[in-house]
Chains A and B, each alone.
Chain A
Amino acid sequence: MFYREAGDFKVSYQDDSQTFPIKFDRYRYYAVLAFAFLVIPFVINDYWANAILLPFLIYSIAAIGLNILVGYCGQVSLGTGGFMAVGAYAVYKLMTAFPEVSMFIHVLLAGGITALVCVAFGLPSLRIKGFYLAVATLAAQFFLVWLFNRVPWFYNYSASGQINAPERDVFGIVITGPNAASWATYFFCLIFLAFCAIVARNLTRGTTGRTWMAIRDMDIAAEIIGVNPLKAKLTAFAVSGFFIGISGALFFAVYLGAVEVGEAFGINKSFLVLFMVIIGGLGSIFGSFAGAAFLVLLPVVLKVIGVDLMGWPTDIVAHFQLVIVGALIVFFLIVEPHGLAQLWRVAKEKLRLWPFPH
């Protein structure tokens, strides 16, 4: 009824390989973009920005990055927290060393630096696969956190060992530090998310994405039809690192403002982003958004229900939250191993034929 591809004819291959080949999808996408860019900035307040929107935007970027590596290229990584830390410390060093340069450039450069680090830690993937690679990336996680804790140069020899984001602006609008307006921080993160999502989508629907998926599905066959496994895996690590670095930089500079590396970028963060990718759906850009939204919103929703509606003490709700999140993850993995994205796909298939399923 609402969702039709009948009558939606394509006359060129360009039309057929676009991101949203179905008209209804395309218009919905424009509507979401317009709403995110033109409506939300005017109605946003500090609570919404800090509790929901900023973490959602930033984790979405991280989830897209990890999804490229795990979902598209099939290389398991538990080093996301460490790689986000690289982005955060890179942007910190850049912000303090070159205060006059635009934050846009700093964040992109931080992504680039993380991409290089990620490639270096991705080198073992040429020899090892699966669980063993997960362990190797786990080593990256612990090494990077240790490095940023132990080498004072990274935190500019500050006494606390923390890094604090100084106030920086873009075109005169403050976006970091305590004086940043919530709409500005939101807008800044949204631009990066839109950019990352479009780049990720373009890469995954084209040649690069196909080489990644070929490596994921059957690496021997991929090599025999002409995929260079070295190049395919390392580009996946690089692109993934680029996105994760951007998310780490934003997480530190725009969202938290002050960071203690073990706390903010510990192993928990690696697992959190991995859960987002798995719950959202491996090998799906939409799944990255869905997973990030799910894990960001769930604690907020549970808190609202528990504390505000039921009147329970906060600490009990906080504990229940862990139990419920854990249970839901198990539930999801059993019921729909392909994640929220697959549920969405099935719903769309049904909608296509509704209300006449024959």
Chain B
Amino acid sequence: MEEGYVTEDGRKIGGVVMEMKNITLRFGGVVAIKDISFDIRQGEIRAIIGPNGAGKSSMLNVISGFYVPQEGQVLYQGKPRPQMRPYEVARQGIARTFQNIALFEGMSVLDNVMTGRLNYMKTGLFSQALWKGKAEKEETENREVVEKVIDFLEIQHIRKTPVARLPYGLKKRVELARALAAEPSLLLLDEPMAGMNVEEKEDMSRFILDVNDEFGTTIALIEHDMGVVMDLSDRVVVMDYGKKIGDGTPDEVRNNQDVIDAYLGVAHD
């Protein structure tokens, strides 16, 4: 299956972008992730699901370089990734959003999204201090990219609004915009629909599908809403108590007995 596969709706999925090999993560005596392996392929929407405390967010934090696993290997684009700081991971083209929104409250929406372009900003301090030539050109070029993202996510009207004033649903969208502005090759979404109503969820689902469709961005997401997960994702990893209990297409996962037990409970005899 190295060359990828074709999804039900006919999209071609490429080779492996990110591979987690036997990852184990411990916090003192607590084992958050136990010997988990899975891969994320080019262009697919990969969901990680599981009951509360299963270790999903920890997994995402391992991918984005925030936690360093005690055992196992993270392979990014075929090469083992050495231990690196989160900002170095970001430079490799991995962007993410957070479960509880992590926007810069004191800045406007535009500035927030512009921070997503930091990895493309190369001019030095002196050039920026004078705001002439290269610095101004770079600012304008990146602003153009950012405006495209703002258009795409339909947040033009709040461009200059301070983030602190926005309602929850819009903040989530701005956070997605900030991640998208980085033009990531792998986008990690930590519960993008938590706390939203049905309409907002529909909007967000549409955006996620559009991002995947238009930019071909590989997406890994954590979500609790099963309806959303089953509709959106191409393949699903199911975790419970730090262990992987299922991996496959939504249909396979839905009929997996371990998964059903984890979610509905099972009689202990």
Contacts and interface: CB of A to CB of B under 8 A. Distances in A.
A216 B106 contact: yes
A226 B129 contact: no
Interface string B56-99: 00000000101000000000000000000111011100011010
B130 A224 contact: no
Contacts of A202: 128-131, 135
A17 B116 CA distance: 17
A42 interface: no
Contact of B64 (A206, A224, A227): A224
Contacts of A213: 104, 106-107, 111
Contacts of A224: 64, 66, 86-87, 89-90, 96, 102
A49 to B, nearest CB: 29
B129 to A, nearest CB: 5
Contacts of B96: 224
A12 B139 CA distance: 12
A208 B128 contact: yes
27 contacts: A13-B140, A13-B143, A13-B144, A199-B129, A202-B128, A202-B129, A203-B125, A203-B128, A203-B129, A206-B139, A207-B114, A207-B139, A210-B114, A213-B104, A213-B111, A216-B104, A217-B107, A221-B102, A221-B103, A222-B104, A224-B86, A225-B178, A226-B118, A226-B182, A227-B87, A235-B125, A283-B106
B105 A217 contact: yes
B7 interface: no
B125 A218 contact: no
A208 B111 CA distance: 12
Interface string A118-157: 0000000000000000000000000000000000000000
A96 interface: no
A17 to B, nearest CB: 6
Interface in A232-274: 235, 239
Interface string B22-50: 00000000000000000000000000000
B246 to A, nearest CB: 28
A7 to B, nearest CB: 17
Interface in B153-168: none
B139 A17 contact: yes
Contacts of A199: 129-130
B115 A225 contact: yes
Interface residues of B, number: 41
Contacts of B107: 210, 213-214, 217
Interface string B117-147: 0110101010011110001101110011001
Tell me whether chain B's interface is mostly helix, strand or loop, or mixed. helix
B136 to A, nearest CB: 6
Contacts, number: 104
A223 interface: yes
Nearest to B94: A224
B95 A225 contact: yes
Contacts of A13: 139-140, 143-144, 147
A211 B119 CA distance: 11
B116 A225 contact: yes
Contacts of A283: 106
B119 A226 contact: yes
A216 B106 CA distance: 9
Given A207-B138, A228-B87, 17 more contacts: A13-B147, A17-B139, A17-B143, A203-B128, A207-B114, A207-B128, A210-B111, A210-B115, A214-B107, A214-B115, A216-B104, A220-B66, A221-B104, A224-B89, A224-B90, A225-B90, A226-B90
A221 B118 CA distance: 13
B60 to A, nearest CB: 11
A43 to B, nearest CB: 32
